């Protein structure tokens, strides 16, 4: 009886280990999901005046300890705003931490993504981390626009995360907002 009970405990322990929060979720069709997806912490800009030519935009994402998979890519897609923002992709950078506490620089490649034909604001950037970001890290991406938009208002950027793996399933994190105003604060 004691051996059967011990065997059952070992079986239950092994089963729990297979579904523990530290593992990625893989669908039977091969798609890889985050066990617990990254969280969009927010966005900000160094200069909020319209038409300003030397601004930097900061997008911060938190990858929880129990994400189950590393973060391979982020897509930042302008969803709203009165003007299309163009970026200097060669100046894109990433670092561990947040804007006020920058840590180690991370290797990142930024590419302009071709938008679907039905999308009215055709502006999406695909950011690839090499190597992927391991769980438990906070990451901030800096994008430099050619210039801030010429139309004031709130601009929203849809943020989507992709885990590492050949068949990664996209996970929409939400909308990051940056507010632009006319010089003088109006």
| Structural domain boundaries in the chain | 2-180
Convert the pLDDT of each residue in 32-68 to its tens digit.
889 999 999 999 999 999 999 999 999 999 999 999 9
Q: Compute the distance between CA of residue 41 and CA of residue 74 in angstroms, rounded to an integer.
A: 14
Torsional sign, CA 47, 48, 52, 56: positive
Fold of 2-180: Immunoglobulin-like (2.60.40)
Q: What is the pTM (predicted TM-score) of this model? A: 0.81
| Tokens describing residue 88 | 């200097």
Convert the pLDDT of each residue in 102-152 to its tens digit.
899 999 999 988 655 444 445 799 999 999 999 999 999 999 999 999 999
């Amino acid at each position: 009886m004691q051996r059967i009970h011990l065997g059952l405990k070992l079986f239950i322990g092994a089963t729990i280990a297979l579904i523990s929060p530290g593992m990625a979720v893989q669908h039977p069709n091969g798609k890889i999901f985050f066990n617990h997806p990254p969280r969009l912490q927010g966005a900000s800009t160094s200069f909020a005046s319209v038409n300003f030519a030397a601004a930097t935009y900061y997008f911060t994402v938190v990858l929880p300890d129990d994400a189950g998979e590393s973060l391979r890519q982020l897509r930042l897609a302008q969803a709203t705003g009165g003007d299309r923002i163009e970026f200097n992709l060669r100046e894109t950078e990433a670092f561990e931490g947040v804007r006020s506490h920058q840590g180690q620089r991370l290797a990142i490649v930024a590419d302009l993504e071709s938008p679907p034909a039905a999308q009215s604001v055709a502006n999406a950037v695909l950011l690839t981390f090499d190597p992927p970001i391991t769980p438990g890290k906070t990451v901030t991406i800096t994008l430099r626009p050619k210039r801030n938009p010429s139309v004031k208002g709130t601009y929203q950027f849809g943020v989507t995360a992709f885990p590492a793996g050949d068949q990664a399933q996209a996970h929409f994190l939400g909308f990051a907002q940056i507010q632009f105003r006319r010089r003088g604060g109006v």
